[in-house]
């Protein structure tokens, strides 16, 4: 039996396989509100064959967005926009729907990637960002405002409110975004966090706010639904956040009842030097898995079915999350199941699509037209 197509249970959430569609920013919202693009994108990939789809970084307050086009979940309008999308998914797919809750911190107020991705000046509609310290992400940018106790409390409350809204929407799981140079990663990394209070300096202090956010989200999200966290295992910069510190964070998350850790890397500094290659981040996930009993998710240039199978079968990670590979092949899970001898769920309208050599792909036989 294929390891990739064996089930796994996260709290009460039963997943039929070990594949998640990774959260992928679409930069297409309007004032944080999801629209027809998200309806199409989410419904399409909910039929990918992955057992779980994670909605892109969904920001907990307007100034926490990466770009003006990023999704939010901070008021009734942003909450209501998700309802018809999720209703459609539930009608046609049994894929679990997770949501990544996020705050961009000093990497906010940016143009969309296809518009250059640079910081938007205040005079052109940008906004003053916030961060652990008044250090810009890169030279020439407007420095962020260093968060004081009032700001920390506001953001903590915003994560709580977003988690409560996600629960009302029926979201199956939450991933707290602590990676890619965004706010929680900024607190973790000594490159961005140069505070001298209880939230800076030592590893324990730098972990304090991200762990407070995780605890706050976990405390208000239904106890039977899982909450995980995405982290960057290394900054790829000397003197920055690294794998040993990531393991320490993972051990703290394990003690707090985290249901998975999604191990990515980089993003906090433009000085990073990354050697890219297929599965280049998998060794980080493997190291975290060996140091904890926390279900671990591998990400990063995982594109081939046999590659994903090997990652799970060898014990390097418990699950894999695919992003670009899913955009290129929205039926990636179907094709992986056909190659590996697994099964996926599909709507009956599509049963006739399976190749004649794959009669058991959907666990159903094809039907003919009258």
Helical (H) or strand (E) element with 332: helix 332-340
Cβ 294 vs Cβ 263: under 8 Å: no
Q: How far apart are CA 171 and CA 20, in angstroms?
A: 15
Beta strands 227-232; 52-59: pairing state = unpaired
Q: How far apart are CA 212 and CA 205, in angstroms?
A: 11
DSSP code, position 118: P
DSSP code, position 72: B
Q: How far apart are CA 259 and CA 312, in angstroms?
A: 17
Q: What angle do CA 237, 318, 21 make, to 5 degrees?
A: 80
Record the tokens describing residue 355, joined without a space: 């190749």
Choose among 193, 191, 197, 198: nearest CA to 234: 191
Choose among 53, 52, 78: nearest CA to 65: 78
Choose among 27, 16, 10, 13: nearest CA to 342: 16
Cβ 119 vs Cβ 110: under 8 Å: yes
Q: Which of 182, 280, 328, 350 is catalytic?
A: 182
Active site residue 182: yes
Q: How far apart are CA 335 and CA 49, in angstroms?
A: 9
Look at residue 227 and give its three-state secondary structure: strand
Record the tokens describing residue 309, joined without a space: 């199978």
- For every residue of 23-53, DSSP letters joined together read P------BTTB--HHHHHHHHHHTTSS-SEE
* Catalytic positions, written as ranges: 182
């Amino acid at each position: 039996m294929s390891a990739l197509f064996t089930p796994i249970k996260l709290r009460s959430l039963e997943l039929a396989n070990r594949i998640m569609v990774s959260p992928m920013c679409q930069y297409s919202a309007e004032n944080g509100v999801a629209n027809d693009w998200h309806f199409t994108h989410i419904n399409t990939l909910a039929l990918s064959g992955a057992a779980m789809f994670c909605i892109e970084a969904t920001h907990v307050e307007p100034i926490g967005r990466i770009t003006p086009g990023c999704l939010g979940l901070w008021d009734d309008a942003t909450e209501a926009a998700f309802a018809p999308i999720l209703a459609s998914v539930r009608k046609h797919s049994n894929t679990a729907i997770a949501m990544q809750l996020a705050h961009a911190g000093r990497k906010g107020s940016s143009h969309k990637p296809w518009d250059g991705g640079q910081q938007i000046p205040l005079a052109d509609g940008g906004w003053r960002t916030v961060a652990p310290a008044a250090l810009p992400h890169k030279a020439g940018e407007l420095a962020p405002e260093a968060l004081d106790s009032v700001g920390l409390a506001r953001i903590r409350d915003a994560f709580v409110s977003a988690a409560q809204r996600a629960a009302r929407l029926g979201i199956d799981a939450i991933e707290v975004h602590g990676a890619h140079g965004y706010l929680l990663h900024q607190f973790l990394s000594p490159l961005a966090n140069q505070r001298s209070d209880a939230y800076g300096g030592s590893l324990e202090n730098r972990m304090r706010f991200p762990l407070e956010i995780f605890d706050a989200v976990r405390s208000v999200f239904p106890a039977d639904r899982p909450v995980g966290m995405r982290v960057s295992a290394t900054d790829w910069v000397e003197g920055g956040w690294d794998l040993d510190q990531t393991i320490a964070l993972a051990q703290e998350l394990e003690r707090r009842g985290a249901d998975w850790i999604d191990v990515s890397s980089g993003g906090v500094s433009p000085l990073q030097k990354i050697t890219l290659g297929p599965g280049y981040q998998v060794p980080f996930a493997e190291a975290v898995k060996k140091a904890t009993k926390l279900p671990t998710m591998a990400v990063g240039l995982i594109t081939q079915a046999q590659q994903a199978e090997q990652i799970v079968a060898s014990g390097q990670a418990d699950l894999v999350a695919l992003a670009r590979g899913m955009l290129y092949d929205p039926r990636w899970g179907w094709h992986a199941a056909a190659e590996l001898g697994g099964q996926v769920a599909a709507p009956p309208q599509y049963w006739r699509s399976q190749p004649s050599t794959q009669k058991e792909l959907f666990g159903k036989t094809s039907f003919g037209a009258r």
